[in-house]
Amino acid sequence: MDQTLIDKLTRPLRSRTPVKAAREVDPLTLSTVWHGLQRICREMRRVIERTSQSYLISQLKDISVGIWDGEGHTVAIPVGLATQFVGGKFSVRYILNEYRNNVYPGDIFLANDPYNGYSCHPPDWGFFRPIFHQGKVAFWTLARAHVEDTGAAFPGAYFSDPYDIHSEGILIPGVKVVEKGKEQRDILRLIWNNVRLAEGVKIDCYAMIAATEVAHNRLTELVGRYGIKTVMNCIAVMQQRTERAVRACIKEMKDGTYYGESSTDDDGYELDVPVTVRCEATIKGDELTIDFSKSDKQRRGFINSSYPSTYSIAVAGAILFLDPALADYHNEGTMRALDIIAPEGLVVNAKYPAPMGGAPVNVGHNIIEAVMMAMSEALPGRAAAGWGRRYGQYIYGTNPRTGGLYIMPGYHAEGGAGAVAGYDGYQGAASIGTLGEISRPNTEDVEIKYPWKVISREFRMDSSGAGKWRGGPG
């Protein structure tokens, strides 16, 4: 993604004047509406968890949801995977640019292409739904999750030697799969015909579509109760308050430029040649600039990151050093105080057709580690020790019980979290790129779904990092 496009997609869009809006909203209504928006997102997430058949989604919780206003401002993004939960606005704005005069009530769009749709990587499929009020788009909702297969050269879409991103499966560039409430069956048939385990992928997709339907119903109820003017005023005020609070946090930090870096062993193709992400975090007054310009160039292997994914992870890393009381209040206002620089052609903003299948769990983790290292210099009292790295593997084969293919995405929360000042790290935290959102799977579910028997699962003795506050065991 070149800088001109980045500037276009990240610049603040016009919104209602917060000062005027603030005079028209009482505190009780403001709090009720805001927490109502957060509750809608949590209900969306719960719907996906409870209706998906996928091990990755229902057990490991590889999910993100969110709400944006009609112009793509971020309204509500409850905690999710760092690589997904902020970057959804890029996909919303992509669809706005592509379909601005061709969006109708009942439409649903699907995107998984990092280059044309701004997904994180091909296995993350996102369903976007516009929500109308009086003939105009008032909101966009997103339900995104990691599907079992994308039709790549090998089952599961994770392999280290793709020729280019087209080797990583079908690429869906933000197309309508439902128009005016009617499924586009030809498009859906084409998609199902290009993935393995199509019935399972189909179930997961309908789970995400159902989540957007829930959001549509709940947002319609919210607007019906308070009126569109009041709801939009509340959103404008919350964005203003969040921006003010974030800027106040940054202003308390010492001005300067701070450095951090993190490396992965290799790109999966050229072995034993490390790939390094380098970060300079510059604090100036109440603004924070995170610059990855000195990072390595993009690689032949599957670890390259897209700019939207890098942006999301970097913002998540910065949020860790803000006031924890803001945890439930991040929105577009947070991002107005942050500037993320990642020149095109680097491993943090790769050019087409670089593969990106393994980006979130490789360079994605390096990005947040580099940001944390840099920010720890600026705010030592909030520094965190390193987390356990990703322990994962894709295992696939023939299930002797059924005679059919199975794909086991072994992305497990087995490592420990690093300690922070005053607190021990917690166990079963996966890796820092997940912010602890990946769950440990249920043993009974593993044994039912896969031709395996779990003999034991236990922590290694003395595996915690020693110190006044110790790291979590693995």
Q: What is the DSSP string of 298-313?
A: P-SSTT---HHHHHHH
Peptide bond into 123 cis (omega under 30): no
pLDDT tens, 231-283? Answer: 999 999 999 999 999 999 999 999 999 999 999 999 999 999 999 999 999 99
Same-domain check for residues 167 and 60: yes
Residue 270 lies in a domain: yes
Residue 454 lies in a domain: no
pLDDT number for residue 157: 77
- Give the percent of the chain with pLDDT over 70: 94
Same-domain check for residues 273 and 196: no
Q: Which residue has the tokens 């800088």?
A: 3
Q: Are 130 and 176 in contact, with CB atoms under 8 Å apart? A: no
Residue 455 lies in a domain: no
Residue ending a domain, among 242, 262, 292, is: 242
pLDDT number for residue 457: 81
SS3 content of the chain, % helix, strand, coil (to 5): 35, 20, 45
Q: Are 383 and 420 in contact, with CB atoms under 8 Å apart? A: yes
Same-domain check for residues 141 and 108: yes
What single letter denotes the amino acid at residue 81?
Answer: L
Same-domain check for residues 227 and 272: no
- Which positions ≥6 away from 232 have C-beta within 8 Å? 16, 21, 69, 138
Residue ending a domain, among 216, 242, 268, is: 242
What is the token pair recorded at 97? 């640019």
pTM over 0.75: yes
Query: Concatenated DSSP letters for 174-214?
Result: EEEEEETTEE-HHHHHHHHTTSSSHHHHHHHHHHHHHHHHH
- Please tell me the least confidently modeled range out of 140-149, 156-165, 426-435: 426-435
Same-domain check for residues 207 and 271: no
- Please tell me the least confidently modeled range out of 16-20, 234-238, 324-328, 390-394: 16-20
Same-domain check for residues 273 and 381: yes
User: Exposed (0-12), middle (13-18) or buried (19+): which is 148, by Cβ within 10 Å?
Assistant: buried
What is the token pair recorded at 320? 């860790």
C-alpha to C-alpha distance for 148 and 141, rounded to whole angstroms: 23
Residue 116 lies in a domain: yes
Same-domain check for residues 146 and 31: yes
C-alpha to C-alpha distance for 108 and 172, rounded to whole angstroms: 13
Same-domain check for residues 85 and 171: yes
- Let me know the angle formed at the C-alpha of 433 by 432 and 435, rounded to the nearest 5 degrees: 65
Residue 78 lies in a domain: yes
Report DSSP state, residue 433. G
Mean pLDDT of 67-82: 84
Residue 34 lies in a domain: yes
pLDDT tens, 10-65? Answer: 765 544 455 566 667 899 999 999 999 999 999 999 999 999 998 888 888 889 99
What is the β-pairing status of strands 338-341 and 287-291?
parallel
**Of 472 and 13, more confident:** 472
**Of 385 and 195, more confident:** 195
What is the token pair recorded at 286? 């109440």
Q: CB pairs under 8 A, 24+ apart, for 439-447?
A: 439/59, 439/60, 439/61, 439/413, 440/412, 440/413, 440/414, 441/55, 441/59, 441/60, 441/412, 442/59, 445/55, 445/58, 445/59, 446/55, 446/59
Residue ending a domain, among 242, 268, 286, is: 242
pLDDT tens, 349-359? Answer: 999 999 999 88
C-alpha to C-alpha distance for 240 and 203, rounded to whole angstroms: 39
C-alpha to C-alpha distance for 230 and 29, rounded to whole angstroms: 8
- The three-state secondary structure class of 153 is coil
Same-domain check for residues 261 and 302: yes
Mean pLDDT of 314-335: 91
Q: Which residue has the tokens 């983790």?
A: 365
Same-domain check for residues 184 and 315: no
pLDDT tens, 156-206? Answer: 878 788 899 999 999 999 999 999 999 999 999 999 999 999 999 999 999
pLDDT number for residue 22: 62
pLDDT number for residue 1: 82
Same-domain check for residues 85 and 114: yes
Mean pLDDT of 378-405: 85
Same-domain check for residues 177 and 296: no
Domain extent for 203: 3-242
Residue 470 lies in a domain: no
Residue 117 lies in a domain: yes
Please count the structural domains in the chain.
Answer: 2
